[in-house]
Amino acid sequence: MDVREELSILIRSRQPLISLVTGEEERAGDLLRALAEELNHRELFFWNTVSGFRRNGKGGNPLEEGRMDPLTALQRIEGYKEDALFVLEDFHPYFEEPVVVRQLRNLLYTLRSSRKTVVLLSPLGKLPPELRDDVPQVFLPLPGYANLKELLDSVCEGRDVKSNLNREAEEKLVKSALGLSESQARGVFVQSILKHKVLDQSALQLVLSEKQKIIKKEEILEFFPSREKISDIGGLDNLKDWLKKRDKAFSRRAKDYGLPNPKGILIIGVQGTGKSLTAKATSALWRLPLLRMDLGKVFGSLVGESEERMRKALLLAETISPCILWIDEIDKAFASVTSAGDSGTSARVFGTFLTWLQEKESPVFVIATGNDISNLPPELMRKGRFDEIFFVDLPTYDERMEIFRVHLSRVRPVIRDYDIALLAGETEGYSGAEIEQAIINAMYNAFDDEEREFTTADVVQGAREVVPIIKLMHERIEKLRAWAEERTRKANRIQR
């Protein structure tokens, strides 16, 4: 159902208050004007505190113009005799005022028997708790492909500009603008035409750089340029095979074959075992952009805005899809969901995320990583959220050999000189990160010792200087293993 239909049904079913969430006031205005027409030319008034009521369409204005406080505005609406649609712009700041909230609640009852509807227009999805259950929220999505195509055509037509793009290139340009608001898209289209007098390839560049700017501004998402390859991961063969098998999952051919888009995976495991590394390497393996979501920032923002920011970030990710959305250390962020004390904000943000995850059909592949399961709400683990939950344990003997190979060959072109089997034997219980540290220690020691080449013995010594996490957290890791045994798929392949 599109937004217009959704609003139309709500209005016709005499819903007294509706919250329409969008930052695109102009576009929302157009939509509501069309809607008022459609509903037997119902009267339409726009209100904001600076201009008072502005009547749209018909002449004259039975309601007052000029500066007006929100309480008076609501009282005028209550007293107005005709059927009408009232659009209140930027109303959210007044949700802080008890009298205003009370008057809105009154309207819930008094307008029910009338054909008057109030639309609260705001870029923020926040509602006071007193209204949350009674005011349906409608989100105006960013313009879709068809809207943007129309916009591009009208921009070109209006300026009598010829397009030098063939159909395919034009399609690509419109597609790349997905995720921009109408005015942002118009801005870049016009800008590129003004610059070059024709519409050509350079427009695409402009759109992309505009999009980068928006992502920067949102702060929650970050394009994460990844240099890691799948071959940089030592071990974790089960996990790697799973990922390799889905290499072409987002291709046209997979779609034609009838395969559903993979949803995502949750990777739980011991610290320093390659979980984050896997997220980064998957981006290279699948040749998809990696977007990292900073959940700390979602929660860190003003309490009421957190939900809105989460919603926006997910939408933005969808417009960039196909892509990988990486949520690192998900356990830390959602720890507060279970703990009381933030008036339910984290629970709601978490709910927004879960619903999205469950219903998502867009090719956004989620990789969530974490290590403390006691912090993770059980809903996250329910079927249908992720395709698979992987558990990453400390590396086996064979895996440690592989990890040594990966890291030694990074610093030395020939690794034949090192006794890898011996090193793997000496580092039982070490994580990949600790093995890496052992090699770095060895290099420092040898370099400090007259800059000589480091040897297998140096690495053994280097490993002794590392206190592996298993020593410090033995019990916690055992508990984690026991938990994972029944609930997860093993990322490590146990040989022999």
Ligand X SMILES: Nc1ncnc2c1ncn2[C@@H]1O[C@H](COP(=O)(O)OP(=O)(O)OP(=O)(O)O)[C@@H](O)[C@H]1O
Q: How far is the CB of 350 from ligand X (least distance, A)?
A: 20
Q: How far is the CB of 233 from ligand X (least distance, A)?
A: 5
Q: Is 436 among the residues that bind ligand X (CB under 6 A)?
A: yes
Give every CB contact of residue 175 below 8 A, 6+ residues apart in sequence: 145
**According to CB under 6 A, which one of 274, 317, 319, 376 is a site residue for ligand X?**
274
- Name which of 235 and 262 has its Cβ closer to ligand X: 235
- Which among 187, 176, 213, 215 is positioned nearest to 312, based on CA atoms? 215
Query: Which partner from the list Mg ion, ligand X, none does 403 bind, CB cut-off 5 to 8 Å by kind?
Result: ligand X
Structure tokens belonging to residue 178: 């997905």
Burial 181-193 (b: 16+ CB within 10 A, else e): bbebbbebbeebb
Distance between first and last Cα of the chain: 55
Q: How far is the CB of 425 from ligand X (least distance, A)?
A: 18
Q: How far is the CB of 268 from ligand X (least distance, A)?
A: 9
Q: What are phi and psi of 138, to 5 degrees?
A: -120, 130
**Contact range with ligand X by CB under 6 A, out of 106-114, 254-262, 270-278, 317-325:** 270-278
For residue 352, give the H/E element and its range.
Answer: helix 345-359
Any idea which residue has 């400390």 for tokens? 394
Query: Which partner from the list ligand X, Mg ion, none does 436 bind, CB cut-off 5 to 8 Å by kind?
Result: ligand X
**Number of residue whose CB is nearest ligand X:** 432
Query: Which partner from the list ligand X, Mg ion, none does 262 bind, CB cut-off 5 to 8 Å by kind?
Result: none
Residues 275-294 that bind ligand X (CB under 6 A): 275-277
**According to CB under 6 A, which one of 173, 233, 317, 325 is a site residue for ligand X?**
233
d(CA 17, CA 117) in angstroms, rounded, equals 6
Per DSSP, the residues of 317-330 read HHHH-SEEEEETTH
Q: How far is the CB of 439 from ligand X (least distance, A)?
A: 10
d(CA 425, CA 422) in angstroms, rounded, equals 5
Q: How far is the CB of 147 from ligand X (least distance, A)?
A: 40
d(CA 193, CA 154) in angstroms, rounded, equals 12
**Contact range with ligand X by CB under 6 A, out of 12-20, 269-277, 356-364, 444-452:** 269-277
**Contact range with ligand X by CB under 6 A, out of 130-138, 170-178, 304-312, 429-437:** 429-437
Q: How far is the CB of 50 from ligand X (least distance, A)?
A: 50
Structure tokens belonging to residue 363: 């090719």
What separation in angstroms does the CA of 205 have from each of 147, 152, 177, 191, 209?
A: 20, 16, 11, 12, 6
Any idea which residue has 């026991």 for tokens? 482
Which residues lie across from 201 on neighbouring strands?
none
Give every CB contact of residue 306 below 8 A, 6+ residues apart in sequence: 298, 299, 345, 346, 348, 349
Any idea which residue has 């984290």 for tokens? 346
Per-residue contact flags (x/-) with ligand X for residues 192 to 231, judged by CB under 6 A: ----------------------------------------
**According to CB under 6 A, which one of 148, 290, 320, 433 is a site residue for ligand X?**
433
Per-residue contact flags (x/-) with ligand X for residues 398 to 427, judged by CB under 6 A: -----x--x---------------------
**Contact range with ligand X by CB under 6 A, out of 81-89, 178-186, 209-217, 274-282:** 274-282
CB atoms within 10 A of CB 156: 18
Q: Is 375 among the residues that bind Mg ion (CB under 5 A)?
A: no
For residue 284, give the H/E element and its range.
Answer: helix 275-286
- Which among 273, 214, 278 is positioned nearest to 244, based on CA atoms? 278
**Contact range with ligand X by CB under 6 A, out of 159-167, 218-226, 264-272, 482-490:** 264-272
- Name which of 135 and 330 has its Cβ closer to Mg ion: 330
Q: Is 42 among the residues that bind ligand X (CB under 6 A)?
A: no
Q: Is 437 among the residues that bind Mg ion (CB under 5 A)?
A: no
Residues 267-326 that bind Mg ion (CB under 5 A): 275-276
CB of 198 within 8 A of CB of 161? Answer: yes
Structure tokens belonging to residue 138: 């409608």
> What value, to the nearest 5°, has the Cα angle with vertex 93 and ends 33 and 17?
45
- Name which of 452 and 487 has its Cβ closer to ligand X: 487
User: How many residues of this chain bind Mg ion (CB under 5 A)?
Assistant: 2
User: How many residues of this chain bind ligand X (CB under 6 A)?
Assistant: 19
Residues that bind ligand X in the complex, under the rule CB under 6 A: 233-236, 269, 271-277, 369, 371, 403, 406, 432-433, 436
Residues that bind Mg ion in the complex, under the rule CB under 5 A: 275-276
